[in-house]
C-alpha cells in the first residue's frame, strides 16, 4: 500500500507532472485537489466578502485526543494520517474550536468537493423552490427541453433530487471505456480519446436512456442526476449557476473565500462534482443547515427545505438501493445523506474522502478534506463515520 504523503514537507514532484490522466491518482492528487483551476476550466463563485478570515484555531484539541474506532485506542492524529487527511475543521455551537491542516494547506486553500458539490446544488434548487420558480413535481424537460428524449425528460425534479430516476448508466470509476468515462470527458475532467467524438455535458446527458423500471423506485446513485439539476437551476433562475450560487449562498452566508466550479467546453457547470472551496466556508454552510437555514441573523435557506432535506428521506427506497450496505438505516433527500443514527446526523460525501458532517444534537459541524488514493473505499467511509461520531461526543471544554 502506498503510504500517505500529505504530512511530508513537499509534494515531491514538479507541477508539470500533474496531467488530466493522473490528477486523481496518488501522489499527484494531493496537489491537484487543491489547484483544480490550474488545469481544468472553471468559473468563479465570488464571495464578495470583505471580512478577514478568523484567526487559525490550534489543532491540539484534536490531535492530542485518543479515539476507539475498531476496538483499540488510537491517537486521532494517526487516524488523520491513515485516512489521507488534507484538512479537518470542527465547529461547536457556531464557533470554530479545532482544526488541522496538512503541510501547504492554509486558511485560504480551496479543495475540490467532488460529490459533496451535489449537496450545494440541492440547496440552490431549494432556494428556487422557495422563490416559486421550480415545481418539484414538474418533469425535467419542462426546464431543459434538450433532455426531453433522454432518461431524465419525464422524471420529476424530486426524482432527480433523490436519485430515484431510472437511468441506464453505471457509475464505475475504474472503467475507462464505458459511459462514466464519456461523462468525465464531456466535463473536461479526463483527456479526450482519439476516435471518440467530443461531447458537451448536455449532449452526454441527452444521450442517456431510461432503464427498465419506472422513475420513483429505489435509490440508485447516478452523478448525472446532479448535473441535470445544475441545468434546471440555470434555466429556472436565468443566471449562470456560479453567479446564482454567489448571490444566494456565498454572499448571504458570509462565506469568506471565493469558490470555483469546473465547466465544460460550453461553460456548463459540473454541478455533480466540480465545486472547490475552503473547509471553513463549507463548515459555514453546514452550520446554516444546523440552524434551520439561518445565518448572520437572517433566513437564507427556506426552513421547510432544510427540514425536508435533513429528515424527509425514504428509508425503504434507501434500503432497496445500491448504497444501503455501508449505511444501514440511512436515507437520502435533496442530494443530502441522512445517517439514521441516534443523533440524526446528516452529511455530504465526495469521492476520495470529502465530507461535511452535521450532528444537530451535539451542535457539531465537521469538514474533512482528503486525498485518498481510491475514489471509493468502504473501510474509509466507515472509519470516517466512526471518527465523526467520536469527535461529536468530545468534551472540548
The catalytic site residues sit at 115
Strands (E), 59-207: 66-68, 73-75, 85-92, 95-101, 111-112
Cis peptide before 393 (omega within 30 of 0): no
**CA–CA dist 335, 348 (Å, integer):** 8
CA 223 → CA 118, 167, 205, 231, 271, distances in Å? 8, 11, 11, 13, 9
| Strands 259-262 vs 294-295: parallel, antiparallel or unpaired | unpaired
Query: Would you list the DSSP string of 204-269?
Result: HHHHPPB-SS-TTSS----THHHHHHHHHHHHHHSS-HHHHHIIIIIHHHT--S-EEEEB-TT--B
DSSP string, 314-363: -HHHHHTSTTTTTSTT-EEETTEEE--STT--EEEEETTTEEEEEETTTT
Residues 6+ apart with CB under 8 A from 107: 53, 56, 101, 278, 280
Q: What does the alpha-carbon distance between residue 377 and residue 201 come to, in Å, rounded to a whole number?
A: 27
375 forms beta bridges with none
CA atoms within 13 A on the CB side of 313: 31
Q: For the CA atoms of the chain, what is the radius of gyration? A: 20
Nearest to 292 by CA among 281, 282, 303: 303
Alpha carbons 237 and 179: distance in angstroms, whole number = 30
**How many Å apart are CA 205 and CA 224, to the nearest integer?**
7
Polymer length in residues for the chain: 397
Q: What is the largest CA-CA distance in the chain?
A: 61
Cell readout for 137 is 413535481
DSSP state for residue 244 in the 8-state scheme: H
Amino acid at each position: 500500500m502506498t503510504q500517505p504523503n500529505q504530512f511530508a514537507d513537499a509534494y515531491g514532484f514538479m507541477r508539470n507532472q500533474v496531467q488530466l490522466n493522473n490528477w486523481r491518482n496518488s501522489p499527484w492528487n494531493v496537489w491537484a485537489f487543491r489547484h483544480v483551476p490550474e488545469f481544468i476550466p472553471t468559473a468563479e463563485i465570488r464571495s464578495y466578502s470583505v471580512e478577514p478570515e478568523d484567526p487559525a484555531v490550534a489543532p491540539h484539541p484534536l490531535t492530542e485526543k485518543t479515539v476507539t474506532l475498531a476496538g483499540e485506542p488510537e491517537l486521532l492524529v494517526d487516524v488523520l494520517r491513515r485516512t489521507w487527511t488534507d484538512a479537518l475543521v470542527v465547529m461547536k455551537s457556531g464557533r470554530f474550536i479545532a482544526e488541522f491542516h496538512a503541510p501547504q494547506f492554509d486558511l485560504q486553500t480551496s479543495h475540490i468537493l467532488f460529490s459533496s458539490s451535489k449537496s450545494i446544488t440541492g440547496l440552490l434548487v431549494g432556494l428556487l423552490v422557495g422563490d416559486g420558480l421550480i415545481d418539484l413535481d414538474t418533469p425535467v424537460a419542462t426546464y431543459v427541453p434538450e433532455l426531453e428524449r433522454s432518461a431524465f425528460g419525464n422524471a420529476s425534479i424530486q426524482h432527480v433530487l433523490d436519485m430515484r430516476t431510472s437511468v441506464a448508466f453505471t457509475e464505475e470509476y475504474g472503467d475507462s471505456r464505458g459511459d462514466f468515462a464519456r461523462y468525465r470527458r464531456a466535463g473536461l475532467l479526463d483527456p479526450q480519446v482519439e476516435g471518440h467524438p467530443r461531447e458537451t455535458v448536455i449532449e452526454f446527458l441527452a444521450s442517456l436512456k431510461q432503464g427498465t423500471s419506472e422513475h420513483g423506485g429505489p435509490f440508485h446513485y447516478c452523478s448525472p442526476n446532479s448535473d441535470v439539476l445544475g441545468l434546471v437551476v440555470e434555466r429556472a433562475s436565468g443566471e449562470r449557476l456560479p453567479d446564482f450560487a454567489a448571490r444566494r449562498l456565498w454572499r448571504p452566508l458570509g462565506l469568506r473565500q471565493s469558490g470555483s466550479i469546473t465547466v465544460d467546453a460550453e461553460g456548463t457547470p459540473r454541478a455533480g462534482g466540480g465545486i472547490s472551496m475552503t473547509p471553513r466556508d463549507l463548515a459555514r454552510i453546514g452550520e446554516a443547515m444546523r440552524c434551520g437555514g439561518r445565518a448572520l441573523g437572517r433566513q437564507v435557506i427556506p426552513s421547510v427545505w432544510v427540514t425536508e432535506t435533513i429528515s424527509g428521506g425514504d428509508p425503504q427506497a434507501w434500503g432497496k438501493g445500491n448504497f444501503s450496505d455501508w449505511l444501514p438505516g440511512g436515507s437520502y433527500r435533496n442530494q443530502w445523506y441522512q445517517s439514521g443514527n441516534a443523533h440524526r446526523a446528516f452529511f455530504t460525501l465526495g469521492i476520495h474522502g470529502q465530507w461535511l458532517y452535521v450532528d444537530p444534537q451535539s451542535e457539531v459541524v465537521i469538514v474533512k478534506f482528503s486525498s485518498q488514493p481510491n475514489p471509493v473505499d468502504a473501510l474509509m467511509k466507515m472509519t470516517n463515520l466512526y471518527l465523526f461520531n467520536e469527535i461529536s461526543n468530545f468534551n472540548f471544554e
